[in-house]
Amino acid sequence: MRRLDRYIATTVIGSTLTALAVLLALYIFITFVEEVGDEGALHALWYTLLTVPRWTGELFPVAALLGGLMGLGRLAGSSELTVMRAAGMSMGRITGAVFAGGLVLVVGVVAVGEGIAPRASAEAQRLEAGGKGGALRLPAGAVWLRAGEWVVHADRVVDRDHLREVTAFRYAGEGEITAMARAAAVRFEQDQWRFREVALTRFGGDRLEQEERATLVWEGGPDPAMMDMVTTEPRLLGILDLREYVDYLEANGLNSDTARLALWRKLISPLTTAGMLLLALPFVLGSLRTVSVGTRVFVGTLAGIVFFLFNNSFGNLAVVYGLPPLLGAGFPTLVVFVVAAAMAWRMRR
């Protein structure tokens, strides 16, 4: 029986890797074509390859569904599953073998997602910035930081220790603004953040005091390593970095819902993969068992696209409407398990 378990697991692994390779090939082609017109072929190719590790994790649940459909479909089409059942192999045993193969793949994808993807994504962001004026930018086009008594807005992030075109507000008490500073740059030097070429305005009662300074120390400024997180979309960060980023946001009284959503999505991702593999079983052994492999793949692709869109849309809606990030990340996966359980129950009727 163990040999049959390994056979089913390796079949699922091979089919899933094939499906993942096809999906990534499509992604590479589309992204390369989009990028090549702006910066040239070599730049576009290198940027595209650097984003592949991130997309490996994002596309993996869909690849698991397609791999399960193709692998189990091949076994069902050749009557191998029928022979296994006749030999006394239960559906629970077959499901366990499928999950064992999925677990091996999940370990590999998590290793890529946590060890390679964050660094590769950061390098891709720097490469893209190098072709667009040398400044890293968030989607909103600027960076907001809050640390110590200061709330800092920077139009450009040249590097993790260099901000430009900065406006800062110093708060005291219950949200009272006590000073405003405009600076050409902020640099991290000698273990301190320093505003450079500063126009400082102090607010005191009915009076305004203005002065020009060459430098001004930013007391309580963030560690430069935090700048990598602030200037990176949360979904591009690893789990440990996301946990640290959430702590930073909450310690400074900032909204952490987007970062928490990204963190929960990464933590729930193995369950999502398990749900997709579970969904493949009734597809193959149920009403689609007599149709061609091409039809199964089409149905699986359609289901995967629907899940991908639903997962991203529901998570974003959860952030917009203030729903718990765990609900935003976990509800689509819960739906997959419910649908798979309903199909399995119907199959046994």
pLDDT by residue (tens digit) across 236-260?
Answer: 888 988 998 898 888 877 788 999 9
89 vs 117 pLDDT, higher one: 117
pLDDT in tens, 53-99: 989 988 899 899 888 888 888 887 777 877 887 888 877 788 888 88
Which of 77, 64, 84 lies closest to 6 in space, CA to CA?
Answer: 84
What was the pLDDT predicted at 293? 60
Count of positions (residues) in the chain = 349
135 vs 215 pLDDT, higher one: 215
Mean residue pLDDT across the chain? 83
What was the pLDDT predicted at 132? 47
What was the pLDDT predicted at 134? 41
What average pLDDT score do residues 127-148 get?
59
Provide the residue ranges of all domains of the chain, joining segments of one domain with +: 2-127+258-348, 137-230
How far is it, in rounded angstroms, from Cα 256 to Cα 274? 28
The residues facing 170 across adjacent strands are 150, 179
Banded model confidence at residue 129, pLDDT cuts 50, 70, 90 = low
Spell out the long-range contacts of 336-343 with Cβ–Cβ below 8 A and sequence spacing 24 or more. 336/272, 336/275, 336/276, 336/278, 336/279, 336/307, 337/275, 337/278, 339/279, 340/275, 340/278, 340/279, 340/281, 340/282, 341/278, 343/279, 343/282, 343/283, 343/286
Banded model confidence at residue 139, pLDDT cuts 50, 70, 90 = very low
Burial class of residue 299, CB neighbours in 10 A (0-12, 13-18, 19+) = middle
Query: pTM for the full model?
Result: 0.79
CA 24, 25, 30, 34: dihedral to nearest 10 degrees?
Answer: 90
What was the pLDDT predicted at 202? 86
Backbone dihedral region for residue 172 (phi beyond 0: left; psi -120 to 50: alpha; all else: beta): beta
- Both tokens of residue 119? 């660094």
Backbone dihedral region for residue 205 (phi beyond 0: left; psi -120 to 50: alpha; all else: beta): left
Which of 21, 24, 18, 15 lies closest to 98 in space, CA to CA?
Answer: 15
What average pLDDT score do residues 128-136 get?
51
What average pLDDT score do residues 209-222 get?
83
What average pLDDT score do residues 300-324 get?
87
* Single-letter code of the amino acid located at 307: F
CB 101 within 8 A of CB 10: yes
pLDDT in tens, 258-289: 999 999 999 999 899 888 888 888 777 765 45
